A and B are shown apart, each in its own frame.
Chain A
Amino acid sequence: MTEAPSIRTLDRLRAAAQAACRARRPEGQPVVRVGLATCGIAAGALDTAEAFRKAIAEAGIDARVETTGCRGHCYAEPLVVIDHPASGFPPILYPEVTPGKAGMLTRFFLGEGDPRFEHMLGATVANELIPSVLEFGRFNREQRLVMDRCGRLDPQSIDDYLADGGYGALARVLAGSPQAVVAAVGAAGLRGRGGAGFPTGRKWELAAAGSAPLRYVVCNADEGDPGAYMDRTLIESNPHQLLEGLAICAYAVGACQAIIYVRAEYPLAVKTLESAIAAAEARGLLGPEVLGTAFAIQVSLFQGSGAFVCGEETALLRSVAGFRGTPTHRPPYPAQKGLGGHPTVIDNVKTLATIPVIVERGAEAFRAVGTPDSPGTAIFSVVGDVVHPGLVEIPMGVTLRELIFDICGGVPGKKRFKAVQIGGPSGGCLPADLLDTPVDFDALSEAGAMMGSGGLVVMDEHTCMVDVARYFLEFTRNESCGKCTFCRLGTCHMLAILERICRGQGRMEDLERLERLARDVRDGSLCGLGRTAPNPVLTTLRYFRDEYEAHVVDQRCPGLSCRPLTAFYIDLEKCARGCDACVGCCPVDAVFTTRTRKKGIDQSLCVKCGECMVACPPEYDAVRRISPAHLAPVIERPPAAEAKT
């Protein structure tokens, strides 16, 4: 039996790519891999890469520096892997590599073969010489289906992706019928990773039905949830997997045009996608006659201009057409009647990046991961008060406790865990006694939160839950499109009430009014943004009502966070007289020296920024924060003339 033309073409491309990779990477040459995604760059990875290049050139060592994407271990950025085969050591992962450390590692490891154990995180593979990172929960509890290649490959190199088996799924799919792909995705039980969890197979079926002359595929990369950045990382670290998924989707539903809607706030992602699309077109992996078949797909980029509501699919389509991004009533759904009235499939980045995995491994293998109703893995960005923040890919069904404590190391310091916020502005806050909730679409919705796009913010005891609700309401108020009454005005009134409570001016009847408004906005709004906007309020009222009551009744903020309800003071028992750290750091000159050379805080000037608390040396630890504010002991400020002397 002869092989299908698409597979033959791919084999040829792959052989060429492997040859190009070999030519670029001489056998046995030591290599330094620096992660260069946005987060790595923000942590200074560009300087680190430059320092390696300079040090290697100066020392005249035969080694090369390569750039990769992000591994998701953001707490350890800039993250560097050094593979020095001749040293006898396996590839080693180094965290927080500053330019200084880069010089040191070049000299000792690349130059003398001493890997400097004290600076390493561990080997990237299990071995007998040195401990491997795979012994840590942060590494061994993850199951990377979608992010497998992130941080391993150079996102700028299509050869890397091809040589690693990339575009194999596309070739395989093109050898079969479009219906078979839709069936496979349906059988895998994949649910949309954009938040609501709609079955992807059913959406594709809907769009493929009928005899539309034109169909579109849109990739939704308008990742607007504050606190979520996995779409950005996937694009920056492995753009071709997304493009492959996009092409497979287009083939399955019969589309010949695809649009990637990406936030303009992600300049590196835009640049990476642009060059990836050009490279794929040059190899015949996109464009006319994909892999030598009759299938054609034209991929274009659309930069979203900063409107959270454009993550909602009908609003996104309005925006692409050049209008204000206001949502429209559904039905009709975009899969039936979308861009220009044509069937349009809109899928999230993570959904599309999962497609090649399903094709490669088969629906059965995909279903074997995760839970029966939410198969596969979930990618979370775990941030906030947690020891090892970053991106984590875990099978669905893992509990929040495992995710936060076993994998991400729990809450730093001696502080207690208070709550976890899941799903961004559409999600909710879950308390400690719901930590055994498994992460899957249905269990989270039941608890009042939402999978959302997978943003997960851990909060310790010094977080005020009323303030968190206020924060999210402020966000949705600002991002409301203003079209429908409930979302436009309901969020304003809810925010006004929350602001009042945070100032200590709330009344008990405010809580009932807040709850009533929240329900009305949830039930009455036009689109998903408005319908889910009250979730942060409803969940905090449900699980942390006592905190609301403390604000209203006692003017007390239990999290010591709402500034009008708290005060800083200096514990004179502990203050060390001579030290002037708090006086020097105060931005408003509220900290003063008393007659006994101890310090006091002028409450009328204090802006409660907390700088003095940070500045006070840990051996004294004399600055305290207290709520309600009137409990702070009053220390008289000496007259100005005397204080100056």
Chain B
Amino acid sequence: MPCENYKDALTEAAASGADPANALASNAKIAALRAHFESCASCRTAFAEEQALFISIDAGLHATANAEVPASLLPRVRAALGEAATPRRGWSANWLALGAVAATVVAIFAAYSVRRGSSFENPVSTAANTSTTKGVLPSPLGQILNPEPFASRSSAPHVRKVFSKNHASPETLASRNSLPQVLVPRDQEMLLVHYAGEWGRRKRAPLVAERAAEISLAPLEVAPIQIDQLDVKLLAEEKSQ
């Protein structure tokens, strides 16, 4: 058979790293190639050249694929991670935020105007509102979770007047904003935050105080104490008995 017929088998054998001299006879192509090599010196030489080519390719690939990593890579990435943690908002996001703030301010102003007008028109309802809030007591945790002062929610004019002084005081503002910090075990911080979130959402403290005012307690009845007369005997009499 001419050498041309073994060309593909020769290349494939070299590419797969198989050595026809030591290959198993079970592979028909390799076995045929081995038989051909015994009688053809030029094909043996061609096969050796192919093997050398593949060795060069593998060596070159190894050099390319295992290049030394520059020492600056990881510090560069770590520095960039810090910036990536606080992504910049785009212009659209800024405009949205600005619009939301403006809408909130307008809504607050409108609500304040309506409320003020209604309090002038109907002072009786204002007094009733005040009486309903009288029984509600702020709890310490409630104050922590809701930094808004309890009395400022009341619409009573005298209360507003008292706290209007505090609004002018920077010390009071600072103390109101500086909420207490709590030291907790590392594994319990999530629990506390969950608890605080639930508490703040449900406003449990005022609800409990309101219910306490509604409960009617019956006067305590104590049965009169009965004391039997003491029977005192002399020691001498006891001994004689």
A and B from one assembly? Answer: no
Interface residues of B (CB under 8 A from A): none
Interface residues of A (CB under 8 A from B): none
